[in-house]
Amino acid sequence: MTSSTTQRAAFGIHSIDHFALEVPSLNEATHFLTAFGFGLENAGDQLLLRTPASDHIWVRVREGARKRLAYLSLNCFADDFEPLRAQIVQAGGRAAAPAVGSGTDGFWFEDPDGNLMQLRVGEKTSPGFKVWPQPAARLAGLRGASMRADAPPARPQRLSHVLMFTPDIEHAVAFYEQALGMRLSDGSAGIVAFLHARHGSDHHLIAFAQGEAKGWHHSAWDVADVDTVGIGKMQMAQAGYVEGWGVGRHVLGSNYFQYVRDPWGAYWEYSADIDFVPPGFEWPCGDHAPENSLYLWGPDVPAYFFENTEQ
In the complex, least distance from residue 61 CB atom to Fe ion, rounded to whole angstroms = 19
- Which residue number, 269 or 275, has a Cβ lying nearer to Fe ion? 269
Residue with Cβ nearer Fe ion (220 or 260): 220
Nearest to 195 by CA among 163, 226, 165: 163
- Using Cβ positions, the residue closest to Fe ion within the complex turns out to be 220
In the complex with Fe ion, the residue whose CB is nearer, 195 or 220, is 220
- Integer Cα distance of 118 and 69 in angstroms: 13
Task: Name the segment binding Fe ion (CB under 5 A); options: 36-44, 122-130, 219-227, 236-244.
Answer: 219-227
Stretch binding Fe ion (CB under 5 A), from 33-41, 115-123, 267-275, 279-287? 267-275
Smallest distance from Fe ion to CB 9, Å: 24
Query: Which window, 67-75, 172-180, 184-192, 269-277, contacts Fe ion (CB under 5 A)?
Result: 269-277
Least distance from Fe ion to the Cβ atom of residue 101, Å: 28
* Stretch of 123-131, 172-180, 266-274, 299-307 contacting Fe ion, by CB under 5 A: 266-274
Distance in Å, CB of 104 to Fe ion, minimum: 32
Instruction: Select the residue interacting with Fe ion from 16, 169, 220, 274 (CB under 5 A).
Output: 220
CA distance 276 to 273: 9
Give the nearest distance from C-beta 163 to Fe ion in angstroms.
6
222 or 269: whose CB is closer to Fe ion?
A: 269
**Least spacing, CB of residue 276 vs Fe ion, in Å:** 15
Q: Does 164 bind Fe ion (CB under 5 A)?
A: no
How many residues interact with Fe ion (rule CB under 5 A)?
Answer: 2
User: What is the C-alpha to C-alpha distance for residues 110 and 30, in angstroms, rounded to an integer?
Assistant: 29
Which residue lies nearer to Fe ion by CB, 173 or 220?
220
By CB under 5 A, name the binding residues for Fe ion. 220, 269
